[in-house]
Amino acid sequence: MKKIVALVCLCLAIRQGKTMSDEMKEVLQTLHDTCVAESGVDPSLIGKTMAEKKLPEDDKLKCYIKCLQAETGTLEGGVMDVEGVLSFVPEDVKPKVEATIRKCGSKPGANDCEVAYNTHACWLADNPDNYMLF
């Protein structure tokens, strides 16, 4: 639960230029480090993804995204939990992202890594100005 709140807060803080508490930074860094280690993704690919607003076809990146979603409890059994994602989006941000999250739902894939990646790809394609990957 704490990780989900931290993930949402990180995205919002970055988008709005706000600072984060040291505790939040620590939780997010742990989540990031866990998923980088689990997936083996090159961290520079994450930055490149955000800079270019494009998700490259990379199996390690796909599994990094899956790890983030699984660790936050929003991906289980090969399905993205749309309501779970939305339940942590602050009310003042929901108008910017809710339609995209609902429209995209949970995109199918051959495995959990592809489900997470395909769902994120839909979010990015539909709403690039409000998409965030860390």
Per-residue pLDDT of the chain (134 residues; tens, 9 = 90+): 444 444 444 444 444 444 556 776 787 789 899 999 999 999 999 999 989 999 999 999 999 999 999 998 899 999 999 998 888 677 887 899 999 999 999 999 999 999 999 999 999 999 999 888 87
Distance, C-alpha 3 to centroid of its chain: 12
Phi, psi of 79 (to 5 degrees): -135, 130
Q: How far apart are CA 100 and CA 123, in angstroms?
A: 6
Burial 81-100 (b: 16+ CB within 10 A, else e): bbeebeebbeeeeeeebeeb
Residue 119: alpha-carbon gap to chain centroid? 10
The pLDDT, as a whole number, for residue 9 is: 43
Q: What is the model's pLDDT at position 96? A: 94
- Residue 1 CB neighbour total at 10 angstroms: 8
Long-range own/partner contacts, residues 85-89 (CB < 8 A, 24 or more apart): 88/4, 88/5, 88/7, 88/8, 89/8
Domains of the chain, earliest start first = 2-130 (1.10.238.20)
> By three-state DSSP, how is residue 109 classified?
coil
Considering the entire predicted model, what is its pTM? 0.82
Contact criterion met (CB below 8 Å) for 87 and 60: no
Q: How is residue 42 written in tokens?
A: 């090159």
